[in-house]
Amino acid sequence: MKRLAVVLAAGKGKRMKSKLYKVLHPVCGKPMVGHVLDSIQRIGCERSVVIVGHGAEAVKGYLGDRAEYALQSEQLGTGHAVRQAEPMIGNEEGITIVICGDTPLVTPETLEKLIAHHESEGAAVSILTASMEDPTGYGRIIRGEDGGVTKIVEQKDGTPEELLTKEINTGTYCFDNKQLFAALSKVDNNNAQGEYYLTDCIRILRAEGERIAAYETLDLTESIGVNDRVALSEAEGFMRERLATKHMLNGVTIIDKASTYIGADVEIGSDTVLYPGTMLNGHTVIGEDCIIGPNTEIDNSVVGNGTTIRQSIAADAKVGNSVNVGPFAYLRPGTELADEVKVGDFVELKNAKIGHGSKVPHLSYVGDAEVGAGVNIGCGAITANYDGYNKFKTIIEDDVFIGSNSNLIAPVRIGKGAYVVAGSTITGDVKENDLAIARARQENKAGYADKIRAKAKALKDQNK
């Protein structure tokens, strides 16, 4: 049976008190609506319609062609929101998941179980529910003797007996698609808020003799809808715990979960160890047998197998196998490190390709450069790549030795096997196997240090 989805994402989210549209607030680095769309697409929904309103262009800009869009120009309730999808999918045969865009913790596994329950029950609609010790404020699920749902009772409308029920409506549903829109056509707004409620479909379908089913998730966190920053923080905590558990079960060692942050789209190979203070963000991929951290941040980067990165930052970088980085290195966008490279402390690389086995041990800046294999770049060496207006490239071929405190003024090429003497400022190309030295000749003036000290003392005494 065809699977469809309607994602409710038109609310402004006033309680967030933010310029950022509510469903775009991130949980573990991914906007909430992105988590929701991931879940419904993983269960094979062929068409996903996102209902947008406030911030419509921002939501479309983020999701792009992953979804279709329907505009709810006036906020007239959840039933009214779903009806905006009718011109697009109203005539489709199949089942439709209706889900809120601010429920990032609902999993594909739970949605699959909801659908399976819906089909086995032969229901017109099935409701995803959860049980809470204190369900105050939530709509209660009232079941009949056969286990089917007789009604959903809101807090303000329930009898004392009904309000003892701990099973709540999470706001996620599975409908027969045509029955959904047929019921919506009969929903009115004769209520205090003057809105059209999706939950009225439950009453209408039951009155028509249709079966209303409910599937209870055992994971209460899936019921969280994020309406303010407090709930956002709670969702972040639950998602972090879930992601950490997934990676550990896949063979990753996390020394301290509480101080380790892993984004939703991060991939990590087995036998990798994450030390405290590690932050892995974006579409980062870490290989097997790596050591990451402590206090390391890696964003949108790829790291090979057997690599160690300690107390460093990498952003939009590619790091090979058996590489050693840090402590206190900064791999900026465009950095590519081949296998067995060493990048030491207080080294900054930007748009630089470093070849196999090369070393940049400490206190260096290499930007807009291509460095070959077997190169050693000494302490304090830099590529001067920017003249205030334009960037220029430095090319260092294989097996070159760059002495400490050397300045390579781009554009410049250092030929294979060449040797640049420490303290040199190189402004022209160096040919293969040449030695380059570019510094003033040393001159020692006998006894002159005493004259300098005497002159300095006299000046100090004069200014007292």
- How far the first Cα of the chain sits from its last, in Å, is 95
Query: Is 139 assigned a ligand-binding role in the annotation?
Result: yes
Query: Is 169 assigned a ligand-binding role in the annotation?
Result: yes
Beta strands in 56-94 (DSSP E): 68-71
DSSP 57: H
Which residue from 178, 205, 202 is spatially nearest to 2, judged by alpha carbons? 178
Query: Is 436 assigned a ligand-binding role in the annotation?
Result: no
Which residue from 376, 378, 382 is spatially nearest to 394, judged by alpha carbons? 382
Alpha helices of 273-327 — where are they, by DSSP H? Answer: none
Q: Is the dihedral of CA 276, 277, 280, 285 positive or negative?
A: negative
Query: Is 11 assigned a ligand-binding role in the annotation?
Result: yes
Q: At what angle do helices 32-42 and 108-121 cross, to 10 degrees?
A: 50
**Catalytic member of 25, 118, 247, 362:** 362
State how far the alpha carbon of 257 is from the alpha carbons of 211, 222, 228, 245, 283, in Å: 44, 21, 25, 9, 20
Characterize the bridge pairing of strands 313-315 and 412-414: unpaired
Round to whole Å and give the CA distance between 460 and 450. 15
Provide the token pair at 222.
């899936």
Query: Is 376 assigned a ligand-binding role in the annotation?
Result: yes
Query: Is 78 assigned a ligand-binding role in the annotation?
Result: yes
Query: Is 101 assigned a ligand-binding role in the annotation?
Result: no
Q: In this structure, are residues 436 and 418 in contact, taking their beta carbons and an 8 Å threshold?
A: yes
Query: Is 58 assigned a ligand-binding role in the annotation?
Result: no
DSSP 191: S
Which residue from 9, 38, 25 is spatially nearest to 109, judged by alpha carbons? 38
Query: Is 431 assigned a ligand-binding role in the annotation?
Result: no
Query: Is 147 assigned a ligand-binding role in the annotation?
Result: no
Query: Is 10 assigned a ligand-binding role in the annotation?
Result: yes
Query: Is 189 assigned a ligand-binding role in the annotation?
Result: no
Query: Is 295 assigned a ligand-binding role in the annotation?
Result: no
Provide the token pair at 441.
């000749």
Query: Is 464 assigned a ligand-binding role in the annotation?
Result: no
Round to whole Å and give the CA distance between 353 and 351. 7
Which residue from 349, 346, 275 is spatially nearest to 314, judged by alpha carbons? 349
Query: Is 41 assigned a ligand-binding role in the annotation?
Result: no
Query: Is 332 assigned a ligand-binding role in the annotation?
Result: yes
The residue to which tokens 């775009």 are assigned: 24
Query: Is 22 assigned a ligand-binding role in the annotation?
Result: yes
Query: Is 386 assigned a ligand-binding role in the annotation?
Result: yes
- Phi, psi (5° rounding) for residue 118? -60, -45
Query: Is 102 assigned a ligand-binding role in the annotation?
Result: yes
DSSP 351-381: EEEE-TT-EEEES-EEEEEEE-TT-EE-TT-
Active-site residue 118, yes or no?
no
Query: Is 365 assigned a ligand-binding role in the annotation?
Result: yes
| Binding-site annotation, residues | 8-11, 22, 72, 77-78, 102, 139, 154, 169, 227, 332, 350, 365, 376, 385-386, 404, 422, 439
Write out the catalytic residue numbers: 362
| Binding-site annotation, residues for UDP-N-acetyl-alpha-D-glucosamine | 8-11, 22, 72, 77-78, 139, 154, 169, 227, 332, 350, 365, 376
| Binding-site annotation, residues for acetyl-CoA | 385-386, 404, 422, 439
| Binding-site annotation, residues for Mg(2+) | 102, 227
